[in-house]
Amino acid sequence: MKPFESAGISLREVESGDLELLRQWRNDPAIRNHMCDTTLIDESQQARWFQNIKMQNADVHFVAEYRNSPIGYINLKARPEGEYESGLYVGNEKYRGSFLSFFIAIAQLDYAFSVLKAKGVFAQVKKTNTAALRFNFKLGYQESDSYQDYINMRLTPSSYKQQRKILTGFIR
């Protein structure tokens, strides 16, 4: 599959050569502590994960690249009725908290809504992860419900289209 380009970010399928870098990023406490599953991932677990994602036709898993360098990871997991659950992290410390985080999310959501024709995109965020909550609200997500330690958020195509115009207006 040809890489998907949007907002200066290239999204390409995860390849076996990416596994160690993705595992290192995923195990970084700055990322891992905000995940639903905070356990450390070993090499064999990462290899099993890769084998599983290769068999999932409805889900997408991409390495996000900026200027031909990997800087993050995104996924979109199929849900019923044409909706997807999103996952994203900026692995390269140099770009965490920068505006490139929004570029990665814009590329992810452009893919979801233009290629996959998603009817909605969901995100699950820990209540303690205030930075991710603010980030998702700026992208146009709305809180849909909450349970235990998590807030579920939903983004519609129309809300995203409106927020995308605002966010990309700052870029130009």
pLDDT tens digits, residue range 26-84? Answer: 999 999 998 888 999 999 999 999 999 999 889 999 999 999 999 999 999 999 999 99
How high is the pLDDT of residue 11? 98
How high is the pLDDT of residue 35? 87
Q: What is the strand order of the sheet 142-147 is part of? A: 4-6, 9-13, 60-66, 69-79, 83-90, 120-126, 150-155, 142-147
Which of the four CATH numbers 3.40.50.720, 3.40.630.30, 1.10.10.10, 3.30.300.30 does domain 4-171 have?
3.40.630.30
Indicate the domain borders of the chain: 4-171
State the Cα angle at 143 between 128 and 65, rounded to 5°.
70
- Model confidence at 1, in pLDDT bands (50, 70, 90)? confident
First to last CA, the chain: 30
